[in-house]
Structure 1
Amino acid sequence: MFPETYNTYAVIIAVENYQFEIGKVDYANNDVQAFRQWLIDNLKVPHENIKLWIDTDATKSALTEELRYEISRLNENDQFIFYYAGHGFFDSGYNRITTWDTHPYNLKDTTVSLNHVLMEPLRKSKCNKSLIFIDACASKIDEQLLCRDLIADMNPSEFIEFVRSSNYRAMFLSCSRGEKSYGSSKLEHGIWTHFLLKALKGEASEAIEQERFITSASLQNYLSKAVPDFIKLNTTIRGSQRPWAEISSTNTFIVCEIPQATSSSSDSIDYILIPERLIIDYENDLIMAALRGLENDGRTYPMFDFEGLNEVDVEAYCIRISKIKTGIIKILDEIVDFLMDYEWEEEVYFEKDNDKFMISACLYEDNEGKISISLSLQLHISGLHPMGDIIFESEYETGEDELKLFTDSSDYNLDADEIQVIFSDCWSNIRRFFLLEKEFELELSEEIND
């Protein structure tokens, strides 16, 4: 999921049966047991690192006290995974989940706030790598239904604020606001959880990138198609269910490595390339890297230990700056086209990838209505990073017409000012779009006032 130097800790919860008169959540126990087995079999998480709370173990005190305690023990070399299957709803400004001892006549005092027990403790902890999966169930807490949905529309703004507090946080939910999330007697699981686990186990080729990785983008893209397709083709359900996700990083990141790749021969590469240095020759329209090739002696990817490997002759890396700029411009033009054609409420991701570079962008709006676009460039030079070597990251604040390019996280010692000079003109079309939008809004406002 993350580099192997990280320890993984998990708290996974299922409330299928309730103490008081609250409808049963069918297959919640099956879901959580299967998720636990994935942690053990695929991620190799030690049993002692997994807290499993089912029904009577999942009390309000357990989530209020024990969950916060477990999070407080995390450090920067840990990653944290949270999974929940049960009833959930939105009340008094907070997203809440139910516990075994939740009472239907006093929901406010017998449920827990996700922000209070999970998101705020994670923000305050040393851990900045976390994944949250929530399959919250039932449309009304006093009805017996076959569906699983978010009671009273869980509010996404709270989730958005949480994931933006770190570079490596993501939250995946079983359905979008106002929709139902269904279980299946055929699958004996929640439909979303079934396809979630299918992807995480590497059993869905559509969710796999570069033949070995499940990424934040590939997972959500797969769930967004697989879940509604199954409902449409294999059930009599008339409602829609669109899985929803909020992801922290400016570009897609690896969620997990599929287990087949760990032991397969394809995990072994013939040689690895070590860039001696990166040269940006703007006048000749070139980015170049002198490469030192090392022959593999049977070690598996990514072979961070190069000691004892024999050198081999390789060609240097070379790409035209103009080709990269064309790719950036195309993505930004796609964002303009998207803004002109669609209404949107959630973050939207755009990506362009080939054998030389990867460009990813994110369009989002904060709680104050300010629209920003983040974009990053990675080059496939060294092969050490599956998504590519980071060259720069950028942020364009549309309201202020301000573009910032950063090289702090670059895998090379690059000058931010030089990068700004080379690539800032790529944003001309999208800047022109937002300036015209601003002028139009101003003219419309003046006409209304007149």
Structure 2
Amino acid sequence: MNSGFHGNTFAVIIAVENYQFRIKTVDYARNDAIAFQQWLINNLKVPQENIKLWLDVDATKSALNEELQYEISNLTESDRFIFYYAGHGFYDGGYNKITTWDTHPNNIQETTVSLNRILMEPLRNSRCNQCLIFIDACASYIDEQLVSRDFIADMNTKEFSDFVRSSNYRAMFLSCSRGEKSYGSPELGHGIWTHFLIKALNGEAPEAVERERFITSTSLQNYLSKIVPDYIKSSTDIRGTQKPWAEVSSSNTFIIFEVSGASSEGSNNYIDFIFIPERLIIDFENDLIIAYLRGLENDGRHFLMYDYEGLKEIDVEAYCIRISKLKNEIRKILEEIMDFLMEYEWEEEVIFERSDDKFNISAFLYEDDKTREITVSLGLSLKISGLHPMGDTIFDSEFDVANDELKIYTDSSDYNVEEVEIQEIFSDCWDEIRRYFLLEKEIEKELLNEIDE
């Protein structure tokens, strides 16, 4: 665990709100970038000369291709690098890409930049050991008209996960998950995600502060994953969902910022034990998912999460849950969706959730407003590590009703699980809802035939 940072910080902030060629404006991107710059200067005490701020016309393809890589090449082992981007992003040709001021809608692929080429690969090859990356962009579906902060196809989080996991002190934060949009708010004057990001980094959100003192990579991740969807649901008319995504180096929860004025004196920072998940075992024959935990006894350290080397190991019970129970809960939530469809008229997206002290299942019923095609997305999380408020991700899934196609993904899993094994175990949970939609199609077909006759 990293107990803090004492070197130099360098940052590159990019925001493209207005584009040169007929690409939809990204509302509040400039406000977001300037607010992020002010946090760096006022709170993190980064010298202004260490910050590159590229807004609109400054954020050209050549600037990102050449100047960004040059800035990264000059980093040393003792430096920290922070990157922030607000604009349109997408996935194409095997890479995540972001748009620049001079991106052209008639030649998207050739007038955008690959994040791997300009950012992640240069960082891998640099001497810099600690970096934070914040991206307020998204992608859902392409059309002639762009809506929200989306463009072409969903960003692929596997590329980001591989990058973060290649070092002990890296974290990447995205404003939304696959298939979602990143929304702005006229009331806030910012993108919703960036508004709460800045609020947390300024120390104005107690929920994001650990041990009454630190904003850490994990506490920030947990805070954003809860506050953003809660705000959208309770304080806006937006019908879509936005659940932030983050990846933090698995071996380190590190401090991003120490809240001003906080002190360890008189505060209750001492904890007796720490529990670290070590491996996940899926034992289908015995109907069990087991996660073995490593328990450590504190020897008097106040900030145990950041410094636990040399502590005495203790015996702890493993996390254990029956696979049959999880499958039953998945079937129940899919049954809730079927009951809802039979009873209610609806538009765009509806959220369903089942949870207890060991698991969380979230499902999203989505209808495309143009094609009217329906998709059912479902994710399973298990409450093993305590690092995530909704649990550790095991798998995500997407059921395409029009094509009767189920896809189960494990690329965002917090554990090394086999996608094929997960599909074999859980895919039959969708049998009933698949039959429901096939029957609906048959009924609709018969009605159309009667009308034609």
Output the TM-score relative to the length of structure 1: 0.64
- Residues 319-370 of structure 1: CA deviation (Å, up to 9, x unaligned): 996xx422xx25x3379899766678799774359xxxxxxx97779xx979
Cα distance change, pair 240–257 in 1 and its aligned pair in 2 (3 A): same
Structure-2 separation of matches of 1:370 and 1:90: 15
Q: Which position in structure 1 is the counterpart of 2:203?
A: 202
Q: Which position in structure 2 is the counterpart of 1:66?
A: 67
Aligned residue for 1:219, secondary structure, equals helix
Counterparts of 1:295-374 in structure 2, within 5 Å, are 324-326=314-316, 329-330=317-318, 332-333=319-320, 350-351=384-385
Aligned match for 1:143, one of 142, 145, 159 = 145
Structure-1 separation of matches of 2:381 and 2:74: 31
Aligned residue for 2:241, secondary structure, equals coil
Q: 2:26 matched to 1:25?
A: yes
CA drift of 1:3 comes to 3.0
Q: Which position in structure 2 is the counterpart of 1:42?
A: 43
Letter in 1 for 2:19: Y
Q: Which position in structure 2 is the counterpart of 1:82?
A: 83
Cα contact 1:23–1:142 (8 A) shared by 2: no
CA drift of 1:252 comes to 2.8
Aligned residue for 1:18, secondary structure, equals coil
Cα contact 2:77–2:129 (8 A) shared by 1: yes
Structure-1 separation of matches of 2:411 and 2:160: 17
Aligned residue for 2:110, secondary structure, equals helix
Structure-1 separation of matches of 2:63 and 2:325: 45
Deviates more, 1:130-139 or 1:16-25: 130-139
Aligned residue for 1:148, secondary structure, equals coil
Structure-2 separation of matches of 1:9 and 1:239: 36
Structure-1 separation of matches of 2:132 and 2:229: 23
Structure-1 separation of matches of 2:300 and 2:154: 54
Q: Which position in structure 1 is the counterpart of 2:52?
A: 51
CA drift of 1:256 comes to 1.8
Cα distance change, pair 65–184 in 1 and its aligned pair in 2 (3 A): same
Q: Which position in structure 1 is the counterpart of 2:370?
A: none
CA drift of 1:255 comes to 2.3
Count, aligned residues: 328
Cα contact 1:200–1:256 (8 A) shared by 2: yes
Letter in 2 for 1:189: H
Cα distance change, pair 162–370 in 1 and its aligned pair in 2 (3 A): closer
- Residues 10-50 of structure 1: CA deviation (Å, up to 9, x unaligned): 00000001111111111000000000000001100011110
Structure-2 separation of matches of 1:228 and 1:369: 22
Letter in 2 for 1:114: L
CA drift of 1:215 comes to 1.8
Q: Which position in structure 2 is the counterpart of 1:258?
A: 259
Cα distance change, pair 136–349 in 1 and its aligned pair in 2 (3 A): farther
Structure-1 separation of matches of 2:299 and 2:160: 41
Cα distance change, pair 233–165 in 1 and its aligned pair in 2 (3 A): same
- Residues 203-254 of structure 1: CA deviation (Å, up to 9, x unaligned): 0111111101112222121111111111111111111111111112235332
Structure-2 separation of matches of 1:138 and 1:26: 15
Cα contact 2:78–2:128 (8 A) shared by 1: yes
Counterparts of 1:26-425 in structure 2, within 5 Å, are 26-136=27-137, 140=142, 142-143=144-145, 145=147, 147-149=148-150, 151-261=152-262, 266-268=263-265, 324-326=314-316, 329-330=317-318, 332-333=319-320, 350-351=384-385
Letter in 2 for 1:98: T
Aligned residue for 1:259, secondary structure, equals coil
Letter in 1 for 2:385: E
Structure-2 separation of matches of 1:236 and 1:9: 38
Letter in 2 for 1:232: K
Cα contact 2:381–2:394 (8 A) shared by 1: yes
Q: Give % identity.
A: 59
CA drift of 1:152 comes to 1.3
Cα contact 1:371–1:398 (8 A) shared by 2: no
Cα contact 1:25–1:137 (8 A) shared by 2: no
Structure-2 separation of matches of 1:38 and 1:174: 18
Structure-2 separation of matches of 1:48 and 1:335: 56
Structure-2 separation of matches of 1:187 and 1:63: 29
Cα distance change, pair 227–370 in 1 and its aligned pair in 2 (3 A): closer
Cα contact 2:136–2:174 (8 A) shared by 1: yes
Structure-2 separation of matches of 1:10 and 1:191: 22
Letter in 2 for 1:124: N
Cα contact 1:363–1:371 (8 A) shared by 2: yes
CA drift of 1:144 comes to 5.3
Structure-1 separation of matches of 2:138 and 2:237: 19
Report the aligned-residue RMSD.
3.9
CA drift of 1:136 comes to 1.0
Cα contact 2:168–2:250 (8 A) shared by 1: yes
Provide structure 2 residue ranges, at least 5 long, that are not aligned to the other structure. Answer: 271-294, 305-310, 328-358, 362-377, 396-408, 429-453
